[in-house]
C-alpha cells in the first residue's frame, strides 16, 4: 500500500497503460475497465522509465537494468535483460520503426540497442550529466536527439545510421524532456535549473522559434496530444499547463511559425 508511482506510459494502441513503481514493479492497467491486468516484478529498485513496442513493455530502473517483457504472456515468455548502464536508467524511447531502443542514464551515457541483441550497438559518451531527455525524429530516419542534466545543459543530435554526432546546442538550463513536432521539423525542449523554460527549436538550423515561460520550478514532464498540435507540461510547481505549439494548418501551408498560446492551466 505504501508503493508509489514513478513512471507512466500509454500503450501504442488500445486502453492499456503501464505504471512503474518505487518498489520496482511494472503494472499494466486496462483503463476501459479501470483494472490492473498484469503485475511484473523483476527490478530491485524504482522503475524510472517505460517504453512500449507493440505488446512489449521495456522498463528502465535504478537497478541499472532494462527489462523487456511481453505483457500478453509475461509468465510464459522469458524476459530480456539489457545490461549496459552503470547507474539509473532514466530515459527510454523506441525509434519510430520500432527497431532501435535508445536509453539514457545517470551515468551520462546514451545507449542504442538493436531489439534482437542484449548489449548496446551504439554508445555515446559526450554528455557530462544525466541523460533523461531522448527523442527520435519522425522526419529523418535514424536521427536521435538527447538532452543533458544540470552540469551539461546541451541538446545533442546523433545520426544512428552512421554512428556519428551531428550538432549540439547549449540551452543554458538542465534539459528535462524533448519531443519532435509531428507536422513541422521542430523540436520542443523543457527545462529545469535555472530558467524552467520551454523552448521550440527549428531543425536543422537550431534557431530558437520561441521561449515559453510560466512554470516556476523544473518542467519535469512533457506529453504531446495525439493530433500533434498541442503539448502538456507538468512541473514541480504542481501545475499542468497546456500549450498550442504545433499548428497543423500552418504546417500544411509550409510556414514554419508555430501558433503559440497557453490555452489552459490546471492546478
Mean pLDDT split into 10-residue runs, the chain, 267 residues: 91 96 97 96 97 97 97 81 97 97 98 93 98 98 98 98 96 97 96 95 96 95 96 96 86 51 53
First to last CA, the chain: 26
Helix (H) or strand (E) holding 252: helix 248-252
pLDDT at 265: 59
pLDDT at 257: 45
Helix (H) or strand (E) holding 112: strand 110-114
Q: Is the preceding peptide bond at 244 cis, omega within 30 degrees of 0?
A: no
The verdict on pTM exceeding 0.85 is: yes
Within 10 Å of residue 99's Cβ, how many Cβ atoms?
A: 13
pLDDT at 211: 95
pLDDT (tens digit per residue) in 64-122: 999 999 999 867 777 899 999 999 999 999 999 999 999 999 999 999 999 888 899 99
Q: Is the preceding peptide bond at 129 cis, omega within 30 degrees of 0?
A: no
Could you tell me the three cell numbers for 262?
497557453
Q: What is the phi/psi pair of residue 56, to 5°?
A: -90, 130
Amino acid at each position: 500500500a505504501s508503493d508509489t508511482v514513478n513512471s507512466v506510459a500509454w500503450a501504442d494502441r488500445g486502453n492499456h497503460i503501464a505504471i512503474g513503481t518505487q518498489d520496482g514493479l511494472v503494472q499494466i492497467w486496462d483503463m476501459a475497465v479501470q483494472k490492473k491486468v498484469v503485475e511484473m516484478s523483476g527490478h530491485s529498485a524504482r522503475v524510472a522509465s517505460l517504453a512500449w513496442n507493440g505488446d512489449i513493455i521495456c522498463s528502465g530502473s535504478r537497478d541499472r537494468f532494462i527489462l523487456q517483457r511481453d505483457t500478453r504472456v509475461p509468465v510464459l515468455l522469458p524476459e530480456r535483460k539489457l545490461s549496459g548502464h552503470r547507474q539509473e536508467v532514466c530515459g527510454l524511447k523506441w525509434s519510430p520503426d520500432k527497431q532501435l531502443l535508445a536509453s539514457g542514464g545517470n551515468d551520462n551515457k546514451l545507449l542504442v540497442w538493436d531489439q534482437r541483441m542484449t548489449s548496446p550497438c551504439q554508445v555515446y559518451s559526450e554528455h557530462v550529466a544525466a541523460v533523461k531527455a531522448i527523442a527520435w525524429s519522425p522526419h529523418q530516419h535514424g536521427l536521435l536527439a538527447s538532452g543533458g542534466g544540470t552540469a551539461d545543459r546541451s541538446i545533442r543530435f546523433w545520426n544512428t545510421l552512421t554512428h556519428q554526432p551531428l550538432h549540439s546546442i547549449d540551452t543554458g538550463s538542465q534539459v528535462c524532456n524533448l519531443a519532435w513536432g509531428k507536422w513541422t521539423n521542430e523540436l520542443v525542449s523543457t527545462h529545469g535549473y535555472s530558467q524552467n523554460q520551454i523552448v521550440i527549436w527549428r531543425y536543422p538550423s537550431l534557431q530558437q522559434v520561441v521561449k515559453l515561460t510560466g512554470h516556476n520550478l523544473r518542467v519535469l514532464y512533457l506529453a504531446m496530444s495525439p493530433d500533434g498540435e498541442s503539448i502538456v507540461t507538468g512541473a514541480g510547481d504542481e501545475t499542468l499547463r497546456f500549450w498550442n505549439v504545433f499548428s497543423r494548418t500552418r504546417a500544411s501551408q509550409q510556414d514554419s511559425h508555430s501558433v503559440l498560446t497557453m490555452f489552459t492551466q490546471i492546478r
